[in-house]
Structure formats: C-alpha cells, structure tokens
Structure 1
Amino acid sequence: MSCHEPGGPAPTGPATPAGAVATLDEPLVVLVGCPNVGKSSLFNTVTGGRQRVVNAPGTTVELELGAWRGVAPGGRPAQVVDLPGTYSLLARTPDEEVAAAAVTGEQGLRRPDLAVVLLEAGALARSLSLYAQVVARGVPVVAALTLVDVAADRGVVADVDVLAARLGVPVAPVHPRSGRGVEALRDVVAARLASSPSVPGPVGPAAGDHEGRASVPDGPPLDPDDVEALFAWVDDVTHAVAGPPPEPVLTWSDRADRVLLHPAAGVPVLLAVLWALFQLSTAAAAPLMDAVDVLVGQGLAPAVTWLLGAAHAPAWVTGLLVDGVLAGVGTVLTFVPLMALMFVAVALLEDSGYLARAAFVADRAMRAIGLDGRAVLPFVVGFGCNLPALAATRTLPHARQRLLVGMLVPWTSCPARLTVYVLMGSVFFPGRAGTAVFVMYLASVLLVVLGGLVLRRTAFRDLRREPLVLALPAYQRPRARAIVAAAWARVLSFVTRAGRVVVVTLTAMWLLLAVPVAGGHAFGDVPVEDSAYGRVSAAMAPAFAPAGFGDWHASAALVTGFVAKEVVVGSFAQSYAVAEPADPAHPGDLGAQLRATLERTSGGHPGAAAAAFMVFTLAYTPCLATVAEQRRLFGLRWTLGGVGVQLGVAWVLAVGVFQVGALL
C-alpha cells in the first residue's frame, strides 16, 4: 500500500470555479471515512441547515459544504467538507481522487487545517488502514469513533482510551444520528484548531517530509510503502482495542435481511418500493406542482401584469417580464415540490439502510447494461420524471457510474411525453392508440439497454465491470431533521444553479417569439409564423423531411418541446391557430390539421411519419430543466455531448422508422 506525495506546494487559497471550498479567514475541516460509517450523519448534525452542494473543480463529484459554528478560535465558525466515502486514498475512481486531493490540498482544493477521521467501532481494521493513509499525508488529525451501539449489538466493545493511546490523537466516541458525543468531538476539534495548525497530529512535520518525523509510541508506520508494517500495526491495534473477534451474534437487522435479501420476498418488496417511488414522482407530486403553477400563472403573473400596467410600461416590457422571466421562474418553482419529495424519499431509503439492500436485490437485472444494482433507482424514477431521476444518481458510489446513468436517464419515457404519444396515436392510429403508447415505452427500455451497452464500449470503456461488494449498514430509524436539512440544501442548489439556465433560456425563446421578421408586426405582438422563432423553425424543417414531417409546424413544436414536452400539443395548436384540445385523445380541429400536414409531407404515408415523430419525441432531449440539472451535476461539456447524442440518435431512429414504415 502506498500513498502519493503532494505534487507541489499547497494552494494559498480556494480555486474552485463553483465557489470557494472555504474562505481564508475560516479554518477548513474535512470529514474522512469509509462508506456507511456515519460521516454524512455527522456532517448534517454539526452543520444543521447551514450547508450547500458544489462540484469539486473539474469533476462531476459533488461535495457538501457547511459551517460548524463556534468551533474555530475566537468563537468563529469553521468550514466543513463532507468528502466522498472511500476505503483508501490510493485513488482508483474520481470520487477517491477527490477525497485524496482534498486531504492534501491538490487540484485546486484548499489544504485542510484538520481532518476528522471517522473510525467504525465494528470494523476497525478497514478504518485504521484509511486513518494511517491520512496520517501519512501529514494532515493534522483527530478521530471520531462511530457506530459504537451497532458494534455492541454484535458483541464488539472498543476501548476508547486504548485506541487514543495507540493512535496518539484524541478520540471522541460519537453517535451522529442522535447527536450524543458531538459536543465532546466539538471540544476536541476546537482544541486542535486552537493549537498550531501547521503541526500535524501524530506525525510531526509538514506533508511530504518523511525524514526526521517523530512518531508517537505505537502510532501508525510513517513509511506508506511498508505494507507489512501497516497490516501488522492495524492487526495489533484492532486486537488491543476490541479484543479477539467475538462469536457471531444474530441481530434484528440480520433477521430482517433473511427476508428482504431472499429472492422470494426481496424482489416483491423491492418492486413495491420502486412502485411507491414512481407514484411519488407522478401522482403525489402532480397536485403540488399544479398548485405552484396556478400560484404563479394565475396569481403572481396577473399581479405583475397589473403593476406594470399601472406603471404604464410598454407592452413588450410586460411580455418580457411576465411571459419570459416570470415564466422561467415559474417553471423552476413548479419542479421544487417534485425535487423536494424525491430528495426526501431517497434520503429515507438511504438513512434507514434499505437502499443498500435494494441494490443487492436488483444487481442481477442491472448487469445487463454493465451497471450494478444501485442504478435501478434512477431508472425507475426516470419513468416518473427525468429531473429527480438525475438527482437520484447521487446514490451511486462512483462519479463515472453516476455520469453513465445520467446520460441514459433522458431515454426513460416520462409522463410529459405521454401527451404527445396519445395525440399522435389517437389521430393516426385510431383504435390502436393504446398499443402505440405501449410500443413507445418498450422502445424506451430498449434505448436505455442498447444505449448503455454502446456507451460502455465507447466513452465509458474505463468503467470496469466489478462484482457488487457492499457493507450492509444496520437498519436504523431515519432522522427527520437531518433528512429535511439535506433535502433543503439540494433543492436550493437546484434552484440557484439549474434555475439560472432555465430562466435565461426561456427569456431568450420569448425574445425570438417577439421579434417580427415579416408582415410589419410590432415587437412583442407577432404571429408565430412571422417571428424569428417561426423562421428558425422553418429553416430547421428540411432536416426532418427524410423522417416524413418536414414542416415548420412540427419543427416549431419540437423546439418548444425542448423546453417542456407537455407544451408540444399547445405549440401545435398555437401554430395552427386552433383551440388546444382539453384531452389529447380527442384532438378535434388540431387532429385534422395534423393529418393534412403529415399527409402532404410524408408523400401519402402519414402513419409512418407520425410514428417517426413519436420516436423522435422519445429519443431527443427531454426538457430544459433536465438539461439544466445535467449541467449542474455533470458540467457543460458532458451535457452538450449528451444533447448532441440524443438529437443524433433521435434523428437516425426517426428517419429509419419512417423509411421502413413507408415501405410496409
């Protein structure tokens, strides 16, 4: 086992484009630990609601930042960073790279003033190995002993005094979920920060200098390349602190797992949980989203219009602010209840300990596309809404896995696309509209599977197929306060970061609709066909001729569908100047107009053209909010690449469906 030395002097300040990891006048504390040791619970406890989410510089790895009040000298707050869970600082994945870089202050991350290493009482060996690697990096260290109660249930009792003596640093036993022991840990951290921050805990001089270090008695070996010495030290400390391994004890978590991990009962329970998540993202969220939409559209928008009218503002100013900016804000706010519900639901599953069991049960099915069972959650949620499905990718352990799933989620067919399927199916496949909709959902599953196989052999060749190895945490009662605080931080991150993209784009679309290019119309009062938006749509129409729907009405609807698929039907109605049908299954005049258009553009094969339009709607970018969330999570380069792939695949499939359909 070896640890890489820092590649140069530590940065003198934060350099993250997403915002500073910590301000220079506040100490920086990092929480380091293996997965499922209570690190995130401790972070939520010490920070409360004072936290935010950013991406590590140049990566898709999320870091949670918070303020630990009163722990720094003079009663000042310290900035706390919850690092990704890792078993080693020998980086093999992007998450481990970020954790290793954060400990040493590399890759644009500020060097921490203190590392709090969490040691799991019931699994000291793997925790001590990580602790030794942190110490070898020359970072000031204190330790927190967690999951003491879980270890006791299994007959393991760790002697805290002996552990502190062997490590040579203060050790505070804590119960992150209940908060017991956190005050003692706070005192330990405060005392360590009050001492000279330039002197690492048990290892003496600054990082990178292995010569002349004075170790504490029985401390970890200072040479990170001496694997035998490290393993011997870990084994010696483990036996001194916890004694020989106890006889196996059957806990109530073990009894529950006999049922929940058994195929006969585990699969039905998993399906029930996934069904509940799907219902949450559709039936439960819909009334809340509608209420926000009504509040903005029928409450706030008329009020702003009245105020602008009373101020004698020009009509175009009213249109820009109400139909552009306010419409964008309303779109973002409409998704807030959905995102909040999904964040809370996923946190409940994670905090209770069931999420790891769900991954185990679903693992065999997910192996079809080269992923492990943890990917099942985002895909199922995606059929309810792609936006929270992207948020659910945070349950995956590695950044490359999250990225791959995030690229595939847009091909899960959300209910917003259903209105388009129903409209086209009712007009062009009367009597078989239900079958047409079913085929589209089947095509969605095939897109995800085939897309996953292709991506695994191209852009994600480095994603190794590894067996799923999980350390199953004990079942525990979820903590409402911590869950709500974490959900609030993530919703706020979505609103402030993804929301900007939505508002700016919708405002730009309003400007295109407002600019007249023909007919002598006034700015802000122009028919769609004579606007810049209409001309752009007309210019795009020839690209869809091989797919049988090369008409500006169809291309305008698809451009509008980039904002939200549920407005495609309304866009058709607006461009044809007919009433929007209350039920897409009974399209009325709009159906007649669509049939006449596709009859003309398809050369007499309107059914094939309609099928091609449905396939394009399935395969291209789901909605602007999803794109904004992808950019927030994965960065601009991957988002633009994903949009390009989706458009290319959608066009190829639509052309193929039409050309084959026209021959049949």
Structure 2
Amino acid sequence: MARVSPAAPSCHGESSTRTAPALSPVVAFVGAPNVGKSTLFNTLTGSKRTMGNWPGTSVEIGRGAWPTTRGPFDAIDFPGAYSLDPQSPDEELTRDLLIDAPIQERPDAVLVVADATALTRSLYIAAQVREHPYPVVLALTMLDVARRRGIRVDTTALENHLGCAVVAIDPRKGTGFDELEDAVGRALEHADQAAPRERDLPTGEADEFALADERFAWIDAAVEASTVRAANAPVALTSRIDSVALHPILGPLLFLAVMWGVFELTTTIAAPLQDGLDQLVSGPVSDGARWLLAALHIDHPVVTGFLVDGLIAGVGALLTFVPLMAIMFLLLALLEDSGYMARAAVVSDRAMRAIGLPGKAFLPLLVGFGCNVPAIAATRVLPDAKQRILTSLLIPFTSCSARLTVYVMLASTFFPDRAGTVVFAMYVISVALVIVVGLLLRTTLWRTMGSSPLVLDLPPYQVPVPRIIASVTWVKLRAFLQTAAGIIVACVTLVFLLQATPAPGADGRFGAVAPQDSLYAASAEVITPVFAPAGFDDWRTSGALVTGFVAKEAVISSWAQTYALEDPSAQDAEQQGRSQLGRAIHHTFETTSGGHTTAAIWAFMIFTLAYTPCVATLAAQKREIGWGWTLFGIALQLSIAWALAVAVFQILSRVL
C-alpha cells in the first residue's frame, strides 16, 4: 500500500536515517492528548525511537521501529489532537498526512488511542478517521481507572459498533501488547478490504455542522452500546484530591508548597553527594592526571594546565552537579507521572489568563523550566502567530535546569542553611518575571491580541511506574551530560586559551602569564564597568557571564578554571574544589560590593536568571520567529537583567 516519506529531518535540521526497513508498513499513532499515546509509542519502539521535524514543516514528531513477529512496523507518533479539524500547526500536520496527502504518501494503517474514562471525547478523531478507507485499530487505555470509577467497557460490543478491532491495553504496565500487535497485523493483511463507515446524513445536508452532529450521534450510540456505569459509583480519588489541588486559593498554595519541597529535598540530598564528587575530582582525579603526565614524561606547563586546571577543573566542577540534576529530574518525573503536573498547569493558567496572556501558552512555558529549546519549539501548538511570538519571547525568562546549577552553587556558598529556599525563590521570581514582562508586552505591542483558555484533559492520579520514571529521568540527565561533554568542553578550551595568552602589552608568554594579565581578563574588563552599579564589577565575574551566553553551565566551569589558575599550588582537598571555589567567589563579591555581599549575590543571580539563556535558545528562536524578533528578545533580556540587577543591589545594599 502507500508509503510515507522514508526520512524526516531531526530537530536540528539534518536528515535522520529511517530506523525500519524501507518497505516496512507505516502505522500512524493518533489520539487526543493525555490518553497514553506517546507512552504506548515509546514502550513499543524503545531505543529505536527518534525525534525529528516532518519534511516541509516545523512540527516535531516521534518515529521509530516497532519490532513485531511479522517484522518491524514503521511507527509514527503524531501530535496529540482531539479532531482532524486543525487549530494549530501540529494538528494541521495530522490532517495533511492522514487526509489531504496523496494516496502514495499516506500511512498504511492508523492506530487510534482512546481513554476509557473519557470515551466520548476520545472517539471523535476515531470517527473522522473511520470516514476514510484506512485499516483502523483502536487501542483502549485506562480501563483500570475506569473500573475504579464504576465504568465497564465491553470491547467486543464497541468493536462491533465501530467496525474495527478494539484492544484493551495498559501502556504503563506493558499489558495487551501481543493482542495489539496481532490486531494491527491482521488489519494490514486485510487492508484492501478497508472501507469508510457509512454516514447517516439527511439528504442534501453535508455542511460541517451536520457532519459533526452525525459523528456525535454515532459516538453516543457506540458508547451507549458498550459502556455500563454503576449506579452507586464511588467518588473517585482523583475528584477528592482535585477539590484541593484545583481550588482557586488552596491550589496555588499547594503548588508552591510542592515546589518548595522539591527544591529543599533536592539540595538536602544532593549536598553530600556533591561534596563526595568534588573531593574525587579535586583529589584522586587531578592527582592521577598529574601522575600520568609525569609517567609519560609530559611536563610542559601548558599541557598540565589545560588538562588539570582546564578540563578537569572546569568540567569536573560541572559534573559534581550530576547528583543534583538527577534528583531534581527524578522528583519532577514523579510529579508528572502521578498526574499532578497537569493540575499545576491549570492552577498557573488561571493566573496567566487573569492578566490577559494566552491560556494555552502555559504549556510551552512549563516546558521552559526544564529547557528553553524544546519549549520554544512547543509554541507551535498555539494557533495565532502573535501568541507564538509573544510566548517565544517570554520563554527565556523561565528558569531552565542549566541555570539551576548556578543557583545551587551560589546558594550553597552564600546561604548554606537556606539553600533550598533560595533556589525556590529564584523560580518564584522567574514566574513573576514571565507574568510582568508578558503583561508589559501585551499592553504595548499586542494590545488587540485575544487570549484563549487552556483546554487540557486532566489525567487521573496514578502510582508512578518505576520504569517510566527511570526512563524520563535518564533522558533528561543524558541531555545534561551531553551538554557537559560538548559545549562545556569547547568553552573550557576557549577560556583556557584566552587565559594562557598574554594581553597586548602585558608581561609573560603563552602558558606563563598571570590570570589578571591574560587576554581573557583584558576582554572581560571591557564590560566589567557596566556591572559596577550592580555590585559585581570584577573581570572574573563578567567573564563568567560572557561564557554563560554559550551555556549557563559554563558560568561555573569558567569560574573553576579562573580560580584554579590563580592558585594552582593548593593541594589540600579541603582547600580545593567547590569549597575553595566558593570562598574565592565569596571574597570577590565581598570586595566588589563594598561589603554588601548579600545584595551583590542576589543581583548576580537575578541577572543570571533574566539575561539570554544560551546560543541554542537563540537558534531555536531564530527558527521559530525569525532574526528580527530574536534580536529584539536579546535586547529585551539584557536590558531587563541589568535594570533588575542594579535595582536589587541598590535597594538591598541600603536595607540589609
């Protein structure tokens, strides 16, 4: 039958190789959001899953090989959609490939994933797909949740009414997959017999309203024929919890308490693990590197300095934050898999819509607290171009996980007894900044832009599955490690070369120059006076901020390099690593602030929060909204960051 284009560009624009053979049947996974579609897709394709943009679009889809006893199926995870009537670019892609594409470019079969607890809503897209000659299989999820709510679904009766195979599955527990594979295989074998369902429309009526009414009537008949609801069904646990979690007053307070607990728990558990890694890097690893160089008769100071004071000090300082990131990602994955994060979206959406921001824009903004790059790509779900531009400009103010490493390091150094609370405060400030800047832009540039409410299916509360939690945590941690292995190594190398090169007119030679006389220091000194009103006008601090343009993790690595080069003779483990680095940074801020250390460090953290996140974010913005708006965003971020930093220092230095 038909074959979909064999390759799709990745999210970075390069072509990715198809993971299934060229003649593998193509199976499209479609369904509404939060029905378990992507969980099912991820489980079936496993490590063979890839992500990419569909050719000719900017919409990201999942693609992978689904290994079966009949041979691999080429599985495609389309964006979540309630219907084939597009309201956004991702929904438009689903319709284009299923309905509007030429026959030879369409998938061979469609797997519709439906939620048994919300069957009427889930079946609307199934009704639309069944109006076309596709082999269709319906995968029914959340049957266990439906049973707890007193709902029984007869899959055989539902199958007879829909005219396609219906398979009960549980993507979280991995049950029903053999039956699903068999049903899809049989549907493909009899693809030539697939026929559109017959529609019961009055003569002469074929407009969209008549079609929609007919579909709902067909769906109601299917649900009535296959579903039995207990007369005395107990009140669902989800409903009882939501009475608090979604309460207009208690809901936001609960959300703040939960997030404070996450940050407090993260910093408390991670601290001893970070100390252990710090001692490992600054002690045995550094000593081992020196011993190995000596054993190889490599005693050139440039080589030793680059490997020990450059790569090991810079990258090692960053890698000590791996336990912190792992714990943070684990806790957030628990909240997400339990179903609570969807409630957090609803609670926060109310506040956003109260000031006129698009309700649906909260979804990409929420993603931004993990990483700004996929968050900007997620703005494609917004139907209006103005909303996409506005949200893309606000996302850099969401405090991504890269900035978390800087907050934790500074909070642990300057506020050791309240580190978790300080980090939590930075995220509260980030949310406030998004709201205020959004209101400012909305009332100046886009006064006539309408707002739309957030439409979101709330999943039931569930006990998190360890397999899913571990997978989500590892994916995010791996991305963090890839950054450390790529961008950070490049930054460390560049910073070392600049620090090893004498500035024009300075004494010394390459590899033998005092840090303050290096080209790195001279370059940083150019912008250092700008930060004098904010209390941190030191070349080591401004240099770290410059490298932070590449990646916020580089702030720590550049600091580690700079202060390691200033005192390379320190050998005592208690005087090295994060403890020594913390004391050195503390001394710098105390000096530049004139004794107002607390005011200066708060000003620095807020500047770090507000200024441009990284070059990857800029690339994502350029792709989504163009160079003009991207440059406007950079100017906006730098202006707000500097103004806030100065205001914070000037105010706190007078009241503290």
TM-score by length of 1: 0.73
SS in 2 for 1:117: strand
- Which is worse superposed, 282-291 or 52-61? 52-61
Q: How far does residue 184 in structure 1 lie from its aligned partner after superposition?
A: 0.3
Q: State whether structure 2 residue 404 is matched by structure 1 residue 409.
A: no
CA contact (8 A) 1:498 1:631 kept: no
Gaps of 5+ in 2: 383-387, 416-421
Determine if the alignment matches structure 1 residue 298 to structure 2 residue 286. no
The answer for the alignment partner of 1:521 in structure 2 is 508
Q: What is the aligned partner in structure 2 of residue 276 from structure 1? A: 261
Corresponding residue for residue 615 of structure 1: 603
CA 1:553–1:295 in structure 2 vs 1: closer, same or farther (change >3 Å)? closer
The Cα shift of 1:21 comes to 7.4
Q: For 1:546-593, what per-residue CA distance to the aligned partner results, in whole angstroms no more than 9, with x for missing partners? A: 7687664553354466555557987886798799999899979985x8
The alpha-carbon deviation at position 281 of structure 1 amounts to 3.5
Q: C-alpha separation between the residues in 1 aligned to 2:331 and 2:378?
A: 12
Partner amino acid for 2:66?
W
Counterpart of 1:151 (choices 146, 152, 155) is 146
Which of the residues 528, 552, 557 maps onto 1:541? 528
1:228 CA drift (Å):
1.4
Instruction: Verify: 1:472 aligned to 2:477, yes or no.
Output: no
Give 1:6's aligned residue.
none
Question: Aligned to 1:119, what secondary structure does the other structure show?
Answer: strand
Distance 1:393 1:451 in 2: 17
Trace 1:117-136 onto structure 2 (pairs within 5 A).
Answer: 117-135=112-130
Give the Cα–Cα distance (whole angstroms) in 2 for the partners of residues 133 and 366 of structure 1: 34
- Which residue of structure 2 lines up, in the alignment, with residue 485 of structure 1? 471
Q: Equivalents in 2 of 1:393, 1:363: separation in Å? A: 18
CA drift at 1:118: 0.9
CA distance in 1, matches of 2:260, 2:323: 19
1:238 — aligned with what?
220
- 1:349 touches 1:355 (CA, 8 Å); kept in 2? yes
Shift in Å, 1:149: 3.3
What does 1:550-629 correspond to in 2, within 5 Å?
A: 552=539, 555-556=542-543, 558-559=545-546, 563=553, 591=587, 615=603, 617-620=605-608, 627=614
Q: Which residue of 1 aligns with 2:295?
A: 310
Aligned to 1:206: none
Of the three residues 8, 13, 19, the one matched with 2:7 is: 13
2:488–2:557 Cα contact (<8 Å) kept: no
Q: Report the residue type matching 2:524 in the other structure.
A: S
2:452 counterpart SS class? coil
Structure 2 contact 330–473 (Cα < 8 Å) conserved? yes
**Does the CA contact (< 8 Å) of 1:324 and 1:510 recur in 2?**
yes
Alignment-derived partner of residue 38 in structure 2: 40
Q: Which residue of 2 aligns with 1:454?
A: 440
Separation in 2, partners of 1:344, 1:94: 32
Distance 1:548 1:257, change over 3 A: closer
What amino acid sits opposite 2:510 in the alignment? F
Deviation of 1:345 (Å): 2.4
Amino acid at match of 2:464: P
Task: Give the distance between the partners of 1:89 and 1:331, measured in 2 at CA.
Answer: 50
CA distance in 1, matches of 2:319, 2:582: 30
- Equivalent AA in structure 2 for residue 480 of structure 1: P
Q: Distance in 2 between matches of 1:332 and 1:420?
A: 13
Shift of 1:322: 4.5
Q: 1:285 to 1:461 in 2, by over 3 A?
A: farther
Shift of 1:37: 1.5
Tell me which of 105, 110, 113 is aligned to 1:115.
Answer: 110
Is the contact made by 1:135 and 1:141 (CA closer than 8 Å) also made in structure 2? yes
**Deviation larger for 615-624 or 148-157:** 615-624
Alignment-derived partner of residue 88 in structure 2: 93
The change in CA–CA distance for 1:264 and 1:29 in structure 2 (over 3 A counts) is same
Displacement of 1:170 in angstroms is 2.3
Q: Which of 147, 153, 171 is the equivalent residue of 1:176?
A: 171
Letter in 2 for 1:147: M
Q: Give yes or no for contact 2:112–2:139 (8 Å, CA) kept in 1.
A: yes
1:292 deviates by 4.0
Q: Secondary structure at the match of 1:31?
A: strand
Say whether residues 1:649 and 2:648 are aligned partners. no
Distance 1:422 1:128 in 2: 52
Name which of 346, 350, 356 aligns with 2:342: 356
Amino acid at match of 2:18: A
Tell me which residue corresponds to 2:419. none
Q: Which amino acid aligns with 1:406?
A: I
> Is contact 1:362–1:373 with CA below 8 Å preserved after alignment?
no
Change (3 A) 1:153 1:543: closer
Distance 1:530 1:497, change over 3 A: closer
Report the Cα distance in structure 2 between the residues aligned to 1:153 and 1:175, rounded to whole angstroms.
Answer: 15
Within the candidate set 22, 28, 31, 2:18 is matched to 22
The question of whether the paired residues in 1 share the 8 Å contact of 2:589 and 2:600 is answered with no
Distance (whole Å) between structure 1 residues aligned to residue 650 and residue 477 of structure 2:
44
Could you tell me how far 1:144 is from its partner in structure 2? Answer: 1.2
Q: Kindly provide the amino acid, as one letter, of the partner of residue 502 in structure 1.
A: I
Give the number of equivalent residue pairs: 613
Distance 1:306 1:140, change over 3 A: farther
**In 2, Cα distance between equivalents of 1:63 and 1:506:** 34
Asked if residue 252 in structure 1 is aligned to residue 206 in structure 2, the reply is no
Q: Counterpart of 2:638 in structure 1: which amino acid?
A: L
Give yes or no for the alignment of 1:84 onto 2:79: yes
Shift of 1:177: 2.5
Structure 1 range deviating more: 148-157 or 531-540:
148-157
> Whole-Å Cα distance in 2 between the matches of residues 530 and 179 of structure 1?
62
Give the letter aligned to residue 155 of structure 2.
Answer: V
* Pairwise CA distance, 1:248: 7.5
Post-superposition Cα deviations, 1:11-66, rounded to whole Å, max 9, x if no partner, equal 45323326537345354433211122122332343234554555667988664444
In the alignment, what sits opposite 2:182? 187
The answer on whether the counterparts of 1:422 and 1:584 sit within 8 Å (CA) in structure 2 is no
Per the TM alignment, residue 174 of structure 1 is displaced from its structure 2 partner at its CA by 1.6
CA positional deviation for 1:612: 7.2
Q: Which residue in 2 is equivalent to 1:31?
A: 29
User: Are 2:603 and 2:649, in contact at CA under 8 Å, matched by a contact in 1?
Assistant: no
CA distance in 2, matches of 1:21, 1:488: 23
Determine the C-alpha separation between the residues in 1 that align with 2:653 and 2:462. 59
How far apart are the structure 2 equivalents of 1:643 and 1:19? 30
Secondary structure at 2:453's aligned position in 1?
coil
> Partners in 2 of 1:180 and 1:422 — Cα distance?
45
The answer for unaligned runs of 5 or more in structure 1 is 1-8, 204-214, 426-435, 600-605
Counterparts of 1:634 and 1:306, CA distance in 2: 46
Greater shift, 224-233 or 273-282, is seen at: 224-233
- Are the counterparts in 2 of residues 51 and 67 from structure 1 also a CA contact under 8 Å? yes
Given residue 642 of structure 2, which amino acid in structure 1 is its aligned partner? W
1:208 corresponding residue in structure 2: none
- Taking structure 2 as the reference length, the TM-score comes to 0.73
Matches within 5 A, 1:405-444: 406-410=395-399, 416-417=406-407
1:158-186 CA-to-partner distances (Å, cap 9, x unmatched) read: 44334334433322222223333221001
1:216-235 map, 5 Å: 216-217=197-198, 226-235=208-217
